[in-house]
Chains A and B, each alone.
Chain A
Amino acid sequence: MFITDTIRRAWRSIRSAKGRTILTALAIAVGTFALSLTLAASNGAKTYVNKIINDNFDPTELIVAADNSLFGQGDSAKPREYDPSFGTSTSNAGSTTQIKKITESDIKKIADVAGVEKVREDITVNANYITRPNEKKFVATIASYNPAQRPDLLSGNIDDSFSGPNIVLPEGYLSDLGFDNAADAIGKTVTVSIPRNITPEQIRSQLQSGTLAQTPEEFAAQAQANAIEKQLTIIAVSKKPVTSQPGTELYIYTPLEEARRLNDISLEGSTDFRKYNFVLVKVDGGNDPAKLDAVAQKVKDLGFQVRTVKETQEFLTNIIGVLQGIVAGFGFIAIIASVFGIINTMYISVLQRTREIGLMKALGMRKRDIGRLFRFEAGWIGLLGGIIGSSLAVTLGLSLNPWITQRLNLGEGNSILIFDPVQIIALIVALIVISILAGWLPSRKAAKLDPIEALRTE
């Protein structure tokens, strides 16, 4: 028998037992559904992480910290030995911990390493508020501008000369600060209030004049009064970012120099003064991984914790990979379970069709072809299950994508479920192969059937 004839005969056979075929295929479809969605989610998450990293980091830079807990490696349940470079750090989860910070002298040391082009601090200043005359006050965070970021601008222009008391205002503030549109805001100034610690001189003079704060409320009021207002000029308005690090959507960016000035004002007199969670070290010729690694090693030798952007990316995608692996594991279990379904179905099929097998043998059909006929039937069931499962997954995934994107706040244009046709086809092919393997035992039984016995069956 030609293979194509066998395949077609197999198809007609499973079609003539529709109910059984569909039910068996559905079992496979469940596993396929889970696996397709897992693959899609894995694609989506990796793409999203890569997008965030590429949009926010310069791959020629190293991320350097003094404390390994910043990279999620420290054991926060274990006491750490104190040294004066410790400062506070607030995690995304909101917990404030003490971590070892990068100091000014550290920065000098790193800058002196051969191959380092530039060291820049990553600065965020928690302003009290941002406002304009006759407008309400809104909370604001001012951050140092990272040239690698290149935010999409609605209006204005940032070039290499971006410096001085200028800012890039996020689109989100526009209407609240009383601007009609993005173009309207360019060149206008905003007032930003920077908190300031009370200086020893102030305390001394208050002591002398007898106006020293006695209660926490009085102290807070004095601190409030101590804040200073700065005028900053809007030179560009940024679009709502598609892939920013979560929580940084409303960051107001200002040149590094200006960020340093504001940061100094805000932290002078505190233990965090001129201490940084991490710094970004630009490597001369850092596009060459060998040079990047060489510098990274030198900085590590100085006792710092170093991460390349690539490592960060791998670290994040590894976490995703582990989660995907768990879900994929359940998908595989479902498929293994359905393999027994196929074996069972095919055995029943062989039993029900003893006479047909006997007839085919009497007409001279070879053992090999009879075995094949039944294996192909199993293969067809696998194909059906694969198509049902993956098309359900694609349909559901594509229709849920906008909702998921909205719920997870991923930003427009990002999908967490990305279906790769090649992957889906590979998955279906794998299912066909698995099904054919599952059909092996029943098909052997069919091939070995004694035609005389089979034809005697009434």
Chain B
Amino acid sequence: MISVKDVCKTYGKGDNLFTALYNVSAEIADGSTVAIIGKSGSGKSTLMHVMSGLDTVSSGEVVVNNKSLVGLKPKQIDAFRSKEMSFIFQSFFVEANQSCYQNVMLPLEIARVARRDRRKSVLLALKSVGLEDKVDSLAKNLSGGQKQRLAIARAIVNKPKLIFADEPTGNLDTTTGEVIINLLLELNKKRGITIVIVTHDQELAQRCDEQIFMKDGEIKKTVKLHPAIKSPVIKSAKKASQ
């Protein structure tokens, strides 16, 4: 569970003071899918950075999986991040000159996973995104959708409880984006991974359990769909759209 309480984040000083987050409080339940929606500059990315410990808060409290990130040393936050969470980005950030295998291996190396356990995990992760036949292909030879699937494999290889996805479909066409979203939601359903998606895409947001609308650094509205209602409705809508 992620709990953000009264978080403020400011940059600069004096006249240049810029408030990126103002008194933001939110809770994200384990195993849920949450969309953070807003225009650029609304603070949605900053909120994600704060939740993941990539950025510090000016005031307030951030608790992830019962651990308060405020006041932790960078080293501890790094170790925590390498074990508990992962990321997917709009522009994939896959290592173009390295093979899919090496790309997916990175989080395992960072988390100091024993060498003998790595290969199995990597192959499994690649299989779950349907890239089992691309193990030794260089990442630069993949299509955009494949690259994002590779990024997803990299995100799940270390079995995190939490995935942050920053505009995961932003660089993809509608059809490919759809595949990626389905993949993410499937991971959520099958493995219970909490997924936080930062997006300005309303359609994508509507498929999540919860939507947090942001504007000018503040949460304007939180929409929670009751799982019992949401599931059948969304599912049928998805089927219809395909």
Residues in chain A within 8 A of chain B (CB atoms): 1-2, 5, 9, 12, 16, 355-356, 358-367, 369, 451-452, 455, 458
Contacts and interface: CB of A to CB of B under 8 A. Distances in A.
B113 to A, nearest CB: 10
Contacts of A355: 91, 93
Contact of A364 (B49, B55, B95, B110): B110
Contact of A1 (B54, B80, B112): B112
Contacts of A452: 49, 54-55
13 contacts: A1-B110, A2-B115, A9-B109, A12-B97, A16-B97, A362-B54, A364-B78, A364-B83, A365-B82, A366-B75, A366-B79, A367-B75, A458-B91
Contacts of A12: 97-98, 102
Interface string B131-146: 0000000000000000
B81 A364 contact: yes
Interface string B3-15: 0000000000000
A16 B91 contact: no
Contacts, number: 64
A355 B166 CA distance: 14
B138 to A, nearest CB: 9
Contacts of B55: 452
A94 B102 CA distance: 72
B86 interface: yes
Interface string B76-109: 0011111100110101010101100010001101
Nearest to B97: A16
B52 interface: yes
Nearest to A457: B91
B52 A362 contact: yes
A365 B110 contact: yes
A367 B77 CA distance: 11
A451 B86 contact: no
Contacts of B54: 361-362, 451-452
A369 B110 contact: yes
Contact of A359 (B49, B80, B82, B93): B93
Interface in B201-219: none
A338 to B, nearest CB: 25
A452 B47 CA distance: 12
Nearest to A455: B89
B81 A360 contact: no
A359 B95 CA distance: 10
Interface string B59-81: 00000000000000011001111
Nearest to A368: B75
Size bracket of the B interface = 20 to 34
Contacts of A1: 109-110, 112
Contacts of B237: none
B119 to A, nearest CB: 14
Contacts of A359: 87, 89, 93
B80 A5 contact: no
A356 B91 CA distance: 12
B111 interface: yes
Contact of B112 (A2, A16, A360, A451): A2
The 5 closest A-B pairs by CB, nearest first: A364-B82, A16-B97, A364-B81, A5-B109, A359-B93
Interface string B22-66: 000000000000000000000000000100101100000000000
Given A1-B109, A2-B109, A5-B109, A364 B79 contact: yes
Contact of B107 (A361, A363, A366, A369): A363
Contacts of A369: 110
B52 A363 contact: no
Nearest to B87: A362
Contacts of B107: 363-364
A284 to B, nearest CB: 70
A437 to B, nearest CB: 24
Q: Which of A9, A355, A359, A360 has the most CB of B within 10 A?
A: A359
Contacts of A360: 106, 110
A458 B110 CA distance: 24
A74 B105 CA distance: 74
B93 A455 contact: yes
A312 to B, nearest CB: 60
A369 B91 CA distance: 24
A1 B109 CA distance: 5
A355 B151 CA distance: 14
Contacts of A2: 109, 112, 115
Contacts of A365: 78, 82, 110
A67 B79 CA distance: 79
Contacts of B78: 361, 364-367
A9 B98 CA distance: 10
B112 A356 contact: no
A399 B102 CA distance: 42
A364 B80 contact: yes
A243 B178 CA distance: 85
Contacts of B98: 12, 16
A365 B74 CA distance: 10
A327 B75 CA distance: 48
Contacts of B87: 359, 362-363
B62 to A, nearest CB: 15
Contact of B95 (A356, A366, A367): A356
A364 B111 contact: yes
A9 B95 CA distance: 11
Given A364-B111, A365-B110, 17 more contacts: A1-B109, A1-B112, A2-B112, A12-B98, A360-B110, A361-B78, A362-B87, A363-B87, A363-B110, A364-B78, A364-B110, A366-B74, A366-B78, A367-B75, A452-B54, A452-B55, A455-B89
B81 A356 contact: no
A356 B93 contact: yes
